[in-house]
Every structure is written in C-alpha cells, then in structure tokens.
Amino acid sequence: MRPMRGMERRTAMTDTLGVSVDTTNAAAARHQPVRDAIARAAELARDAEANAVRRQHAKGKYTARERLDLLFDTDTFEEIGRFNGGDINAGKAGSAVITGFGKIYDRKVAVYAQDFSVRGGTMGMAEGRKICHLMDMAIDLKIPVVALIDSGGARIQEGVAALAQYGHIFRKTCEASGFIPQISLILGPCAGGAVYCPALTDLIIMTKENSNMFVTGPDVVKAATGETISMDELGGGYVHNATSGVAHYLGEDEADAIDYARTVLAYLPSNSDEQAPTCAYASGHAEREAAKRIGGIMPDNDRQPYDVLDVIRCIVDYGEFVQVQELYAQSAVVGFACVDGRPVGVVANQPNVLAGILDVEASEKVARFVRLCDAFNLPVITLVDTPGYKPGADQEHNGIIRRGAKVIYAYANAQVPMITVILRKAFGGSYIVMGSKAIGADVNVAWPSSQIAVLGAAGAVNIIRRKDLQKAREAGQDVNALRRRLADEYERTTVNANLSLEMGEIDAMIDPEQTRDVIERSLRLLATKRRVRRTGKHHGNQPM
C-alpha cells in the first residue's frame, strides 16, 4: 500500500461530549484535572485503534479511521457517539461503526464507517441506531452521506433485532434518495441483506481486492446448486463493475476508491435544493486548439468507428471527464465534467463499441445516470451517434422493451437543462430517446455529417424498394449497383438533418469546431430554467 495520509495518531482523544483530552501533557493535567473515567476512555480508544491497525494492515486494508483521514480534508472530521454501544468500565471502546461529519473540498459531508476490527463490523442494534441517527442529521442538515462498508453482516447473536436495523436503514436511505447525494464504498465484505444498503444509494465504488458483494456467498451457492465459485468470481469488484453493473467505479486500491468519491462529490450539490458548485474558468488557447482537433475526429467513412471520448475531451474544461460505470455497457458513455466552470452530466453513444448501439445494459446505464443528473440539478449534454436499438431474440427476451423504456422515462421526466448534439447517426427509436426535442430537450443541434431517419439507407432500401430489387434480380441486372444507387438517393432525400431543421426538431446545423461554444451559450441561456409541477400525482410508475 502507498503511504497513508494522516497516520500520525494524535495523543488527544475525544470523549462522548467531544471534549479533547491530552493524557500525555502533565502540565495541562495539573491545571485541568482529568477524571479517571475519561482517561480510561481515552486509553480504550487508543488501544482499539492499535488493535484495528494490527488486524486490518495484516489483510492489506486500512482501518476505519485511516479511511476517514483519506476521505476528509485535513483535521475536519468530527465524530459523534464515540462510545455509543460500548462499555467503558468493561473495557469495550464502542460499537462496530464510526459516525460523524467532515469536510470534502470545504463542504460538509456525513459519514459512517464500519469497523471490521470490532466484532467483524457486524450490524447490531447499537450500530443501526447510530447510522439512522446520522442519516436523520444529514437529511436535516441537507448534506451528502458517504458509507464506508466493511462488515460481516447482521450480528447473529442479536437475531431479528439486528435484521430490523437494516430495514430502518433501508427506509432512511429511500427517504434521502434524490434529496441528498449518497455514495457507498465497498472496502471489504458486504453480504446478504446488507447489500441492499449500498444498492439503494446513488453510486457504489469497489476495489480490485478485498471488495465483495453478494446476496448468498460461495458456500451457500455450492450447497444450493453444486457450483464451486470463488468470492471474487461471484461478487468481486471487477464482476460488479464489468458484468452486473451493480458498481460504478473500480478502484485500484482503497486510496483510489476514496479519491473517486471525493472527486464525484465535487461535481454534485449538497442537496437537491442547491445548484452544483461552480469554479472560475476562462477559455483560452487550449480551447481554441481543442476546437481545431474536434473537426478531425469524425472519419469520412460513416461506417468507420471512432472514440467518442476524444470528442468529449475537446468539449469539456481542461479535457477532464470523470466516467461512471466505465467498464459496463461500453457502447454508452456517461460521466461528469465541467463546461465554462459549471458541472454537467455527459451522455454519449460510443461508436468504438458495437457501433454505439443501445442494448438492455446501455439503456439502463443511460437512464440511471440521467435520473441522477436530474435529481441533483446537473444539465445533461447528450452526444448522439447510434444506429438504434440492438436487434435479436436475446434482447427481446431480456426485456429491451421494458428496459429500453427507462431511457424514455428518464429523459421525458428530466427538468434540468438538456442540450443534444447529433454527431453522426440517429436512427429510429434511438433518435427519439437520446435527448430529442420531441422528448423534452431544450437545445438540439447537429453536425453536417449527421444522418437522421427512421432507418439507415441500406436497411430502408431493402424494405421500401424490395420489389424493384427483386425485378432487377429477375431481369439479370446488377442488384448491388442498383441498391447502392437507391441508397445514395435515399440518403440525399431522407437521411439528412434538413428535414429535422425544417420541422424544428433541430435548432441549427453547426460545424464541429462550434460545439463547445454552442454548449456554453446554451447553458447560459438555460441557467434560469426552473422545475414545473404539471400534475398533482404522487409519482409516476416508471418501467422497472
């Protein structure tokens, strides 16, 4: 592991009232007598951390308090309920969870960190009450909650009472959902019903090692099905980032995972009533150079792939783009960036992977991210280049209708500023769902290379001119040459953005070099856009 920040443990300890007690300063002790009980509590706290260091470092893991040092700005963490759930007289320092508040980039954040060195980090009544109390405070203070999870699950000795605490936490998490950002870091085991605590939060971050999530562990799987599988193969960090889509980032190690959490929070507001924090930014030479580069990214051949990340980096401030779910459903790209100092969410099709097609996984990835942006007031920038929804029996059987509809629901209900740029292909249903003006986008522009139609030229010709092709085949004519000619004609008359311009579905045709400038101006135009409640319904019934 790399050197740990803030590892030098201070001799000053904190009692349950937050009183700092320095047991090593004899002079201070003469002027401020220290009760034996408080001195005993400080000694217990030191011993507990020393024990945690021995146990966690042997596994290649940080202690809960070392993780808090990495998470928060230096010397900003304030713990609450330090000895709650402990027994000082009996030598028990506290419960298996640490709760408190600190600052990340000078903004207040609530945290609970499970301590695996205390009874395996298991959840009991004391732990559940501490977590729920913290979440109540976070909701009242309107600040984000970060969970550092490293737990053996429900405490068996407490039975149903321990299980009930998960129910209380589930309910608090649902209450906070969409109101304050909630981020979960899985830094150890997370199994059984405990997995649904992070599953209900906005983002889940895992690490390559020591990070596991599963409803039933390998032993139970083997007993039930006969299948032999390792913990990592069943629910490791890579599996949940690349295969299941449960997690949103795979950290190289704990420090990287925690740094990602800090980075994401920098793009989000503290709550849904606020706008995301902005930073001072002045365009200059770098932006002019990026504008020149963007024009050369798109290949002349409309069937040739390219990396949409190159386009994104030419548009956003400093070329910095923080991807979400980078390893999952890679035909779609989502993530955070800034444009002119203002945080935005970026959604894009990725032509480098399956031509940027929308399948069941990509649909859910896009929908979930758009909902996140809408909840926390981030404008959505959509870059479109997709031939449509992926065809095939497997897609139909896996619910492309139900799961593809999630994209529609997300965009149609979003009330943040939405700006869409059609880079190349926008065919069929995918044109509609990917932030079209018809579905609710505010500003829609297209590059000159854009192709907008119900179907691509080749596919359309095969359907609408099939009789002409059949006659040519029967007459012994060159069918392929006829198909190419008909396809070229279809492209000239139908597969272009002119019809969309004439109908008002596209606001302007722009050169690629103008893209950032158009987005900047559109964001300024839409800065005063506000939410409108159009009905008195409790909530919609979105496709699940």
Q: What percent of the chain has pLDDT over 70?
A: 88
* Rounded alpha-carbon distances, angstroms, from residue 408 to 131, 141, 196, 413, 420: 36, 33, 26, 8, 15
> Is 371's pLDDT higher than 70?
yes
- Asked if 96 and 55 count as a contact pair (C-beta separation under 8 A), the reply is no
Question: Residue 1: is its pLDDT beyond 60?
Answer: no
Taking only the tens place, the pLDDT of each residue in 372-407 is: 999 999 999 999 999 989 989 999 999 999 999 999
Highest mean pLDDT among 39-53, 494-508, 519-533: 519-533
Q: How many helices (H) does the chain have, and how many strands (E)?
A: 21, 19
When comparing pLDDT for 527 and 455, which is higher? 527
Q: HSE-up of 233 (CA within 13 Å, CB side)?
A: 6
Beta-sheet pairing, 322-324 with 332-339: antiparallel
Backbone angles phi, psi at 235, to 5 degrees: -155, 40
Lowest mean pLDDT among 187-196, 372-381, 496-505: 496-505
Backbone angles phi, psi at 386, to 5 degrees: -145, 140
Cα 250 → chain centroid: 11
Percent with pLDDT over 90 in the chain: 67
Per-residue pLDDT at 520 = 96
Please answer whether residues 269 and 377 qualify as being in contact, where contact means their C-beta atoms are separated by less than 8 angstroms: yes
Q: Residue 37: what pLDDT?
A: 64
- Using the CB atoms, write b or e for 395-414: b if 16+ within 10 Å: beeebbeebbbbbbbbbeeb
pLDDT, tens digit (0-9, with 9 covering 90-100), for 283-342: 888 888 999 999 899 998 888 999 999 999 999 999 999 999 999 999 999 999 999 999
Mean of all residue pLDDT scores within the chain:
88
pLDDT at 488 over 90: no
Domains of the chain, first to last: 38-267 (3.90.226.10), 285-456+495-526 (3.90.226.10)
* Structure token pair of residue 34: 């220290």
H-helix or E-strand spanning residue 186: strand 182-186
Per-residue confidence band for 45, with pLDDT thresholds at 50, 70 and 90:
confident
Distance from C-alpha of 322 to C-alpha of 335, rounded to nearest angstrom: 5
